[in-house]
Chains A and B, each alone.
Chain A
Amino acid sequence: MSNGVIITPGLAHGALRRPEPQHDVVRQAQAFRAERRSERVRALVAIAVMGLAFLTVAGQLLRLAMQGQSEQRISINAPLATAFARPDIVDRNGRLMASDIVMHSLVADPHVILDQDEIADRLVTVLPDLDRKRVRNAIADRSKRFAWIRRGLSPAEAQKVHDLGLPGLDFRPELRRAYPLGRSAGHVIGLVDIDNKGLQGIERYLDERKNVEPVHGPSLSVRPPLRLSLDVAVQFAVEDELAEAMRRYSAAAAVGLIMDVNSGEIVAAASLPGLDPIVIDDRFDKNRIDRLASGTYELGSIFKTFTAALAFEGGVDPQKRFDVRQPLEVEGYPIRDLHPAGRPLTVTEIFLLSSNVGAGLLALNDGQQRQKAFLEKLGLTTPMSTEAGNVAPASLPGRWGDIETVTVSYGHGLAVTPLQFAAASAALINGGHRVKPTFLRKRGRSQKPAERVISSETSHLIRQLMRENVASNAGTGWRAAVAGLNVGGKTGTAEIAGIGGYKSKSVIASFIGAFPMDKPRYLTLVCLFEPQGTKETGGHITAGVNAAPTTARIISRISPLLGFLPNLEHTRTPDVGDRRFDGPRFPQ
């Protein structure tokens, strides 16, 4: 083999010139054969080992493939996310109402802190509202590697802490929600928790619509802002005037609403005392609840618009007279008027003079079934919700007999939220279409014809009544008149139910209004809670002397913001009531 000659047994026998002894050749051949055999065996063993190894790998792969995913899985989404990136919230004109900003949170690594007391002492010098004891406790355990000290420092505060140069402290950039407008529209905006997750109001709506994304670092949302129907300027004007009214009439609380009667867009929604989305303590202050959508109240005579509308739907003529001279006796309860007219009144006069007896007669004329069905059709007694959350459901009388029919006709015995009341009233004013209140801006969307709840003739009559109530001297709402704008509305003074009956000195004074009355665009609702008699009001606490003039001040302030110019033909003159709808030609 070594010299390249193949030696075969045949050659060895005869062809070799120098024949070697035969036994040598045979021995060589035998050794050679044995060597080849052992080589082959070794190769086979190697192949077998390698093959076995590959088979093992293949088998393992097959097993893994058949088992599917192994039980150990690492997920890097929500549970590990540290925060939520939220889109901005802007008003109808794009003015910022809420936004995410990156702020620095102060964290500590207790393991590397040298002097715990020094840290606590010196931190308190730059962050005075920090609780020293709590800081000390947070960093007490040296086996820990992480502790929050304060989340959401302002850049200036962070710089101060940084300048202390304390070891073991670090900053972690985090997304925090900022509300540049402070308390303005706080009830509507809602709130977020420490991880930027929406808990209430529009903030919660954002979460429900999956407009927020879980993020690990401080990365801002790239989603387009949520555009609300609110107008920051109108909202502020309403809040400012309500605060002024609370001061002027010593009221405990106030509610104001401006709503587009056709689209249901809420331009301003205020409930004072308001709350600041970032002040947690505000949430626990019972006095700061959202009276607009979370509190139900008996709203009193402003309900007479419904009573009148139901009568007109039933074909009652506005000039038909009802005898209101005697107190109305229903199921043993006498219903009286505050100032009895002493003569039969037409339906129009019942509305203008706000006669409880008259309203009761109108309601009895229609019957409780029709009244109940009518209120339900208007959406007053069915559950309602907006983007800012569920609206508190109406409290209905347990038994709806004759006496309840009469009390409901002038707004007692049935408690609703002011928001739901306004939504139902909008249908009476806008020509008879149901309106769903919304906090989102609607634009350009093809509006499918809304459900009709009352005839346009009835709506026209209601508008006339509301206008007359403000424009004529006979009406209770004349103080709501705004020079240059034809405002209409209805007053309501409801005694607040307390222990042992209604309290005559404690009332909710309300005014439901709309403008301009020839072609209404906006509905206004003002409720003052427990106003007191003042020198200006001559000691009275009825809505005509407080809620009505507040409405006038609000409307005169917001109408230029909403694009209305004063019309010089429109002044409040005593004879306007007889002229009836001397339609001004307003832009839009």
Chain B
Amino acid sequence: MRILLTVAVAMTLGSAFTLYAVNYETRGLADDVKRREKSINKARRDIAILKAERAHLARPDRIGRHARALGLAPAKRGQFATYSISDPTGRRVTRRPGDER
């Protein structure tokens, strides 16, 4: 009877300590999750702003202005040349860009 009582008391104490520890650990984990969620949200907000800024910087009128300042221009007809290749029978054929598609 006494042994049983001792074991029961020991188990009670043990489980109480375990529960306490688990509880503490859980709270720690919950805090950790909260912290991470916060940093994820922060990162997502930053990404949203960076994406918007990037789109703003890459808008066509700005790119076009810079391209023209560098002396670039839309491709003109004269810039597409024809070229000759040998077809499978060995014959020379003249082709243009776009024909291969």
A interface with B by C-beta (< 8 Å): 95-97, 99-102, 155, 178, 180-182, 184, 218-220, 232-233, 236-237, 240, 483-484, 557, 560, 565-568, 585-588
Within the complex, which residue of A219, A236, A587, A588 is in contact with B41, where a contact is CB–CB below 8 Å? A219
Contact call B44/A96, Cβ cutoff below 8 A = no
A102-B45, A178-B52, A565-B80 are known; give 13 further A-B pairs, CB within 8 A: A95-B58, A99-B52, A100-B48, A101-B49, A180-B54, A180-B55, A182-B59, A220-B45, A236-B60, A560-B74, A565-B96, A566-B77, A568-B96
When C-beta atoms are compared, the residue in chain B nearest to A100 turns out to be: B48
Confirm or deny: B98 has a beta carbon within 8 angstroms of a beta carbon on chain A: yes
Confirm or deny: B92 has a beta carbon within 8 angstroms of a beta carbon on chain A: no
Q: How far is the CB of B96 from chain A (nearest CB, A)?
A: 6
Within the complex, which residue of B54, B58, B82, B101 is in contact with A587, where a contact is CB–CB below 8 Å? B101
Complex A-B, nearest 5 residue pairs according to Cβ-Cβ distance, in ascending order: A180-B55, A236-B60, A565-B98, A96-B55, A180-B56
Confirm or deny: B51 has a beta carbon within 8 angstroms of a beta carbon on chain A: yes
When C-beta atoms are compared, the residue in chain B nearest to A561 turns out to be: B74
Q: Is the interface of B mostly helix, strand, loop or mixed?
A: helix
Q: How far is the CA of A236 from the CA of B52 in the complex (A)?
A: 18
Confirm or deny: B31 has a beta carbon within 8 angstroms of a beta carbon on chain A: no
Q: How far is the CA of A586 from the CA of B60 in the complex (A)?
A: 27
Cβ < 8 Å to A, chain B residues 41-82: 41, 44-45, 48-49, 51-56, 58-61, 64, 74-75, 77, 80, 82
Tell me the number of A-to-B contacts counted with CB atoms below 8 Å.
Answer: 71
| Given A100-B48, A587-B98, A181-B55 contact (CB < 8 Å) | yes
Q: How far is the CA of A503 from the CA of B44 in the complex (A)?
A: 57
Residues of B within 8 A of A182 (CB): 59
Residues of B within 8 A of A102 (CB): 45, 48-49
Q: How far is the CA of A97 from the CA of B52 in the complex (A)?
A: 9
Confirm or deny: B97 has a beta carbon within 8 angstroms of a beta carbon on chain A: yes
Residues of B within 8 A of A97 (CB): 55
Residues of A within 8 A of B56 (CB): 180-181
Q: How far is the CA of A233 from the CA of B63 in the complex (A)?
A: 10
Contact call B60/A233, Cβ cutoff below 8 A = yes
Q: How far is the CB of A543 from chain B (nearest CB, A)?
A: 25
Q: How far is the CA of A148 from the CA of B77 in the complex (A)?
A: 58
Some 28 contacts from A to B, beta carbons below 8 A apart, are: A95-B58, A96-B54, A99-B48, A99-B52, A100-B48, A101-B48, A101-B49, A102-B45, A155-B49, A180-B52, A180-B55, A180-B59, A181-B56, A184-B60, A218-B45, A220-B45, A220-B48, A232-B60, A236-B59, A236-B60, A236-B64, A237-B60, A240-B61, A483-B77, A557-B74, A566-B77, A587-B98, A587-B101
Contact call B52/A560, Cβ cutoff below 8 A = no
Q: How far is the CB of A246 from chain B (nearest CB, A)?
A: 16
Q: Which of A100, A178, A232 has the most CB of B within 10 A?
A: A178
Q: How far is the CA of A565 from the CA of B80 in the complex (A)?
A: 8
Residues of B within 8 A of A557 (CB): 74
Q: How far is the CA of A236 from the CA of B58 in the complex (A)?
A: 12
Q: How far is the CA of A565 from the CA of B41 in the complex (A)?
A: 46
Contact call B97/A565, Cβ cutoff below 8 A = yes
Residues of A within 8 A of B52 (CB): 96, 99, 101, 178, 180
Contact call A101/B45, Cβ cutoff below 8 A = yes
Contact call B48/A484, Cβ cutoff below 8 A = no
Contact call A181/B96, Cβ cutoff below 8 A = no
Q: How far is the CA of A567 from the CA of B82 in the complex (A)?
A: 11
